[in-house]
Structure 1
Amino acid sequence: MYNLATNLERNANFRANDTALIFGEQKINYKTLNTMVNKVANHLVQLGIQPDDKVAISCPNTPAFVIGYYAIQKVGAVTVPLNIMLKGAEVAYHLDDSDAVALISFEGNSALPSGEYCFEGFQQTPSCQHFVSIESGAGTPLPEGAHSFNQWLASELDDFDAIYRHAEDSCVILYTSGTTGRAKGAELSQSNMLCNAQACQALTNQKGTDVSMAILPLFHTFGQSLIMNTSILAGSALVLVPRFVPKTVIQLMLEHKVTHIAGVPTMFIGLLTYAERHGGDEIAEVASTLKVAISGGSSMPVEILKQFEAKLNVPVIEGYGLSESSPVAAFNHLEYKRKPGSIGQPLPGVTMKVVDDKGNEVPRGKEGELLVRGHNVMKGYYKKPEETAKTVIDGWLHTGDIVRMDDEGYVYVVDRLKEVIIRGGFNIYPRDIEETFMTHPDVHMVAVIGIPHKTYGEEAKAFIILKEGATACEKALMNWGKERLADYKYPRHIQLVTELPMTATGKILKRLLK
């Protein structure tokens, strides 16, 4: 019997006065945080929320997300985090697909009217009965029939004991980004989420005296498990950052003596660029307290990893995971040899194998699809048994990622199965080209896709953002690539751009480049 929220309850008893959350000038200790969660949990019960009910939450990285998330857990319900960028019809789809009976939504502002979009989606979903608004302080009237999250926090309903759950009971439904078709909800159990938080705490050596930072959105699986749940489990302080701005992040790291950060490669590129421009005592002081940097979400260019480690004097450990694997499945470990470009080895209790298109395991060093089995594999896609049966076969999660495993068991992601470019019968893995171009002194960021070609079927095209002040032209870059890549592989098409389409977590959306 277990409930994810008992981690919070334990720290409210054992380290009541220790800081749990830092947001702007606000510091909330563990006892206060638990009390705030209890208030919201009591009001959810008053609404009639039952164990196993689905409750959606749409909120940026503010204390309200953490409070709402754990309140939903306390009452035994299932948390359905929503991307704050969703528009009305998209919100309606997620509410309907997940069978959500309530939606807790941040009000937002003129730049991001997420509350308006959420209420629009709520109104389109008859099965969702309750709308709870997290007011942003602008004094905007509540939507008709809505409940006030802030008024809930002002109530005196301070006590609530978490309702115990079985290990296999559902904990969260995390929607995948939906690169093909509609988004699917990965249904994860209490055991999935607890084991992942415990594994993340162990691999990052996080203690109650540490300070971690949430620069990744907490509505996303990476930020939720590796940052929020791990910090609450460890009893450490968590600095909440609602919007990633390199200068702001560095200043907060300096002010709060941050020890642990986690991000996707584009975030590390942004921080590295800022550090290189501004350097000096500020960066040296940040480096003096930083213990570990964690990279995931997509493969980090080896050149960036090496530069970041050198500039901030901190080990960068790369890992790998999917919403379907809770999310962490593999990581480099601090106490073992770290191999740049590798996602490390499977977590304890997790098994990986590499197979060909017939499902046969391939020899070490050969490329194939990565399969994962263990305590982290999801229950399935919510209400989609046919989709689940295609993805989880005999307990093995088929990831859709092309990898190779070396003789020591370290795994290297070559590319997404769906992103492989086939030119005249030759397989081209975009990451090979991206890694090469990231070593060019003028290149800030690069994304490679396949485009149609009459003769060869597909051709590689690179979209490149230059560093500030750089003057390289497209033809010069193509010739540079031709000198360093096989003839079938170098991109014949290069387009200089000022930005790349990204998800809210900073992953490049290659499908929007096509």
Structure 2
Amino acid sequence: MLNLAAALQRNAVINPDKIAIVCGETQITYAQFNAIASQIANGLKARGIQPGDRVALSCPNLPFFPLVYYGIQKAGAVTVPLNVLLRAREIQYHLEDSQAKFYFCFEGVEGLPMAEAGIEAFQKTDACEQLVVMTADQTLSEYQGFETLTSLIHRQSAECDYAPRNADDTAVILYTSGTTGKPKGAELTQANQYLNAMAAQNLMQMAGRDVHLVTLPLFHTFGQTVNMNAPVSLGCTMVLVPRFDPTLVMGLIEKHGVTLFAGVPTMFIGMNLCQAESDCSSLRIGVSGGASLPLEVLKTFEEKFSVPILEGYGLSETSPIVCFNHLDKQRLPGSVGQPIQGVEVRVVDDKDQPVALGEPGEIVIRGHNVMKGYLNRPEENERALRHGWFHSGDVGRFDELGNLFIVDRVKDLIIRGGFNVYPREIEEVFMTHPAVAMVAVIGVPSSEYGEDIKACVVLKEGQFVSSQELRAWGKTQLAAYKYPRQVEIRDTLPMNATGKIMKKDLKAEITQSV
């Protein structure tokens, strides 16, 4: 028997007065956390939700998210977290594809009218039976004619034992970002989620006294495992940040004595560039994932904050952690470390045969972290899980000590005049230029070479360098077939809600403008 909510229920007994959730001026203890989650579970059961039913959730990093997430788990249902930036058409697709019976949607904030999109999607689908809106005004019993969370939990008991689930029962359905096609729902089991949370605890040497700064979106696998499931199981405090802002974040680190900060590369870049004078000495560890962290960014952060950054590697389909650097071992900058305990990783060629040591190939994975499969996608599962290994679509290489280095995405590979060019290598070089804050390298059509290389660059504030100068500089740093013939200076780069640069969107934007 296994249920993610068991840890919450346990901490409500042994750490009832410990602060579990902080958001702005709101503070919620573990006893209160468990009580509200129990009311939500009872409200769901009163409306017909059975163990195994799917319940969708759209919410930024606010207390509503963990409260509802664990309420769904207590009821034995399957949580389907949705990206908060989805539009109505996209929400409708996710509700229908997941066959969600119930949908919790936050009302939204200025510029992000989530409830409007959620209501429109709900009204256009027959798949979902009920919509509940979470509102900042917790006295409201309805919102535009729909029930609110206040109404759902009204008069519900604050006691509810978690529903017994099997280790291989689906706990969460996480949708891939759709960078290579239509989003697919990865079914992650109770064991997947539990064991990966335990792995995160061990790798980061977490303890109950740790205070987590939760800037990663909780609807995403990285934030969900490292910043929610792992700390909840230990009784840690989570400081929720709905929207990343480096000045705000540094102030919260000082105010709450934050010890663990997990982020994606663009967040570390923002912290490096921030001029705020906050005392961040409470930090003991930084964790980076979601995309490759440029070496220059890692070095700058560690020098500025005197905190080690541990880089890891994972995917939605692997719960997410696959490899990780270890605090008690020598870190090799640029490497994502070694496979976690119970997980095997190989690097193979296009015939699924292992490549020679040091050679690049596709990363394949097997172990307790690998999903059951994509929901209702038998053909995709046959391809992605062939021969008992999950095929990641990422290119990597191993060194003689078993450290994994991420080379790039298979889909991002640029073939220029017959030469394979990996964008990440070029991005690493451009990040060493003193004027460059961020860069994304993509392939663009070329009548002469098939594809050519283009670098899209965001400059640091107060810096100026022309695209011609950057192009000439790149030529001195890279082989003739690698340096970008095209360099574009931009104000911003397209990013998803996790702060990951969306090269697919960038490529489409540039292609349309040609």
Give the TM interval when normalised to the shorter protein: over 0.9
- Aligned position for 2:272: 272
Tell me whether 1:320 sits opposite 2:274 in the alignment. Answer: no
Paired with 2:143 and 2:98, the residues of 1 have a C-alpha distance of: 23
Matched residue type, 2:379: E
Match of 1:480 among 473, 479, 482: 473
- Does the residue aligned with 1:262 lie in a helix, a strand or coil? strand
Match of 2:426 among 420, 424, 433: 433
Tell me whether 1:454 sits opposite 2:453 in the alignment. Answer: no
Paired with 1:109 and 1:60, the residues of 2 have a C-alpha distance of: 10
* Deviation of 1:147 (Å): 1.9
Paired with 1:51 and 1:457, the residues of 2 have a C-alpha distance of: 53
Q: How does 1:108-507 map to 2 (within 5 A)?
A: 108-137=108-137, 142-143=142-143, 146-274=146-274, 277-279=275-277, 282=278, 285-286=279-280, 288-507=281-500
Matched residue type, 1:90: E
Conservation of the 8 A alpha-carbon contact between 2:442 and 2:454: yes
- Aligned position for 2:511: none
* Normalised TM-score (structure 2): 0.97
The CA deviation string for residues 218-241 of structure 1, in whole angstroms up to 9 with x for no partner, is 011111111111110111000000
* Deviation of 1:503 (Å): 0.3
Report the number of matched residues: 507
* Deviation of 1:213 (Å): 1.0
Matched residue type, 2:235: G
Conservation of the 8 A alpha-carbon contact between 1:108 and 1:136: no
Conservation of the 8 A alpha-carbon contact between 2:59 and 2:105: yes
Matched residue type, 1:213: L
Paired with 2:445 and 2:144, the residues of 1 have a C-alpha distance of: 51
Paired with 1:223 and 1:148, the residues of 2 have a C-alpha distance of: 26
Paired with 1:70 and 1:298, the residues of 2 have a C-alpha distance of: 28
RMSD over aligned Cα atoms = 1.2
Paired with 1:17 and 1:509, the residues of 2 have a C-alpha distance of: 42
Paired with 1:118 and 1:437, the residues of 2 have a C-alpha distance of: 41
- Aligned position for 2:60: 60
Paired with 2:141 and 2:49, the residues of 1 have a C-alpha distance of: 25
* Deviation of 1:177 (Å): 0.4
Paired with 2:412 and 2:258, the residues of 1 have a C-alpha distance of: 36
- Does the residue aligned with 1:440 lie in a helix, a strand or coil? coil
Q: How does 1:42-81 map to 2 (within 5 A)?
A: 42-81=42-81
- The unaligned stretches of length 5 or more in structure 1 are none
The CA deviation string for residues 265-286 of structure 1, in whole angstroms up to 9 with x for no partner, is 0000001110xx344xx2xx21
Tell me whether 1:106 sits opposite 2:116 in the alignment. Answer: no
* Deviation of 1:144 (Å): 5.6
Fraction of identical pairs, as percent: 50
Conservation of the 8 A alpha-carbon contact between 1:186 and 1:323: yes
Paired with 1:77 and 1:85, the residues of 2 have a C-alpha distance of: 24
- Does the residue aligned with 1:394 lie in a helix, a strand or coil? helix
Paired with 1:10 and 1:485, the residues of 2 have a C-alpha distance of: 56
Paired with 1:14 and 1:426, the residues of 2 have a C-alpha distance of: 60
The CA deviation string for residues 51-77 of structure 1, in whole angstroms up to 9 with x for no partner, is 000000001111110010001000110
* Deviation of 1:464 (Å): 0.3
Matched residue type, 1:230: A
Paired with 1:180 and 1:239, the residues of 2 have a C-alpha distance of: 33
Conservation of the 8 A alpha-carbon contact between 1:351 and 1:373: yes
Paired with 1:271 and 1:157, the residues of 2 have a C-alpha distance of: 44
Paired with 1:241 and 1:341, the residues of 2 have a C-alpha distance of: 28
* Deviation of 1:136 (Å): 2.2
Paired with 1:136 and 1:183, the residues of 2 have a C-alpha distance of: 30
Matched residue type, 2:257: K
Paired with 1:466 and 1:357, the residues of 2 have a C-alpha distance of: 38
Conservation of the 8 A alpha-carbon contact between 1:449 and 1:460: yes
* Deviation of 1:358 (Å): 1.2
* Deviation of 1:153 (Å): 4.4
Paired with 2:433 and 2:404, the residues of 1 have a C-alpha distance of: 26
* Deviation of 1:295 (Å): 0.1
Paired with 1:60 and 1:110, the residues of 2 have a C-alpha distance of: 13
- Does the residue aligned with 2:462 lie in a helix, a strand or coil? coil
* Deviation of 1:155 (Å): 3.2
* Deviation of 1:145 (Å): 5.2
Instruction: Say which is worse superposed, 194-203 or 110-119, in terms of deviation.
Output: 110-119
- Aligned position for 2:29: 29
The CA deviation string for residues 408-466 of structure 1, in whole angstroms up to 9 with x for no partner, is 00000000001000011111100011000100000010000000111111111000011
